[in-house]
Amino acid sequence: MENNVDEKKKEITKEDFAILWKTIHLKITDTYDVPPEILWVNGSTIGTLGNFSASTGKAKSKKTFNISAIVAAALKNDEVLEYSAHLPENKRKILYIDTEQSKYHCHKVMERICRLADISTDKDNKDFLFVVLREYTPTMRKMIIDYMLKNIEGIGLVIIDGIRDLMYDIISPSESSELINLFMKWLSEYNLHIHTVLHLNKGDDNTRGHIGTELNNKAETVLQITKSSKDVDISEVKAMHIRDKDFQPFAFRINDDALPEVVTGYVFDQPKQDRSFTLTELAEQQHRQALEKGFGKQVIQGYDKVIEALTDGYASIGFDRGRNVLVKLNTFLKYKRMIVKEGKGYRYNPDFHY
């Protein structure tokens, strides 16, 4: 919902606040509809109207092939690969925005999606709009997207491949925050779902820059696409973060028709765990108690200070362990979003899903 408050003003006037109050004031007597679910993986919801999700992975992990399956499922309102989709009748349009590839390569992606969805490649489909913004600046790209969302009716799903190209500096906290706020504005005003793409760091499995942190904190679901360690021709799809129950990961390969297909019977490597630290031995309430004790409402800066906070917090519930276990615990808590990055430090996130 739009408001008319000028953010450049140094303070909010009484008239400004009267406008804001109507949109920010939540009353117990208010009623709200449950956000319509539109995308699933193996029965788990990964996308609802009014929220956004993301795919992430390293170069050559076949992220675009994976997204092609998501879009094809939405076009069919059916199942493709392991994705299921159902867009409402008044939200059947899909807007695919590519910021990286040439028109030639984008056309190949578009053709692949149509083939996966079993729709004709001989004529245009009114519900599938593909836009190429490679040659434009980040500012112009955002303006074009904003105009399309404002003037094209019936859009239910927007793909932005990739989000990095809507920014000048991915390590800028302010620019990252502004972009995610723009996403929130689009989601609120047009009641659609945005799925975007961001690369992982080359050296680890963390999303890139401050925009990666913002995505992890705000996205409904973050999918991770990874090359198999057993077979370079196979890609694995897992949930890095998900608000709904976690789904069973799956693997796919590219078949002789240049289309992704599920690898049946694929066995995933089991994560190695320190025997002295069993993840299941602590209940959710124990984690909450320990993190409230160790962190409170503080943003703790510095790796050693974070480990100290974990040591104190978990010792208070009787989980007194050495540094090596606390280091692994720290990794686990960040993965589960029990502690999240804020600025240059970390804070306890009470809204985590265990």
The torsion angle over the Cα atoms of residues 287, 300, 241 and 353, rounded to 10 degrees, is 30
Give pairs for 12-18: CB < 8 Å, separation 24+.
none
For residue 300, pLDDT over 80 is answered with yes
Rounded mean pLDDT, 124-143: 96
In this prediction, residue 353 carries a pLDDT of 72
In this prediction, residue 354 carries a pLDDT of 65
In this prediction, residue 343 carries a pLDDT of 85
In this prediction, residue 43 carries a pLDDT of 87
Alpha-carbon distance 181 to 188, whole Å? 10
For residue 275, pLDDT over 50 is answered with no
Per-residue pLDDT band for 268 (boundaries 50, 70, 90) equals: confident
Q: Enumerate domains of the chain plus CATH numbers.
A: 37-262 (3.40.50.300), 279-348 (1.10.10)
Edge-to-edge strand list for the sheet holding 339-342: 299-301, 345-348, 339-342
- Which of 108-122, 134-148, 162-176 is least confident? 162-176
Per-residue pLDDT band for 223 (boundaries 50, 70, 90) equals: very high
In this prediction, residue 271 carries a pLDDT of 57
Rounded mean pLDDT, 333-344: 87
- Which of 26-40, 225-239, 242-256 is least confident? 26-40
Rounded mean pLDDT, 237-250: 90
User: Which residue spans within the chain are E strands per DSSP?
Assistant: 37-41, 44-48, 52-57, 79-80, 83-85, 93-98, 128-132, 155-161, 193-199, 221-227, 234-242, 250-254, 260-262, 299-301, 339-342, 345-348
Residues 6+ apart with CB under 8 A from 347: 295, 297, 298, 299, 300, 339, 340
Rounded mean pLDDT, 102-109: 96
Per-residue pLDDT band for 170 (boundaries 50, 70, 90) equals: confident
- pLDDT mean across residues, the chain: 88
Rounded mean pLDDT, 246-266: 94
- Which of 19-33, 127-141, 164-178 is least confident? 19-33
In this prediction, residue 154 carries a pLDDT of 96
Token reading at 126:
């009114």
In this prediction, residue 10 carries a pLDDT of 66
Helix (H, G, I), strand (E, B) or coil at 42: coil
For residue 8, pLDDT over 70 is answered with no
Distances, alpha carbon 156 to alpha carbons 102, 129, 258, 316, 342, in Å:
25, 12, 27, 48, 32
The torsion angle over the Cα atoms of residues 340, 174, 243 and 146, rounded to 10 degrees, is -170
How are beta strands 155-161 and 93-98 bridged, if at all?
Answer: parallel
Alpha-carbon distance 152 to 292, whole Å? 47
For residue 186, pLDDT over 90 is answered with yes
In this prediction, residue 206 carries a pLDDT of 64
- Which of 33-47, 195-209, 217-231 is least confident? 195-209
Per-residue pLDDT band for 296 (boundaries 50, 70, 90) equals: very high
Token reading at 163:
């989000």
In this prediction, residue 1 carries a pLDDT of 42
- Which of 122-136, 140-154, 208-222, 245-259 is least confident? 208-222
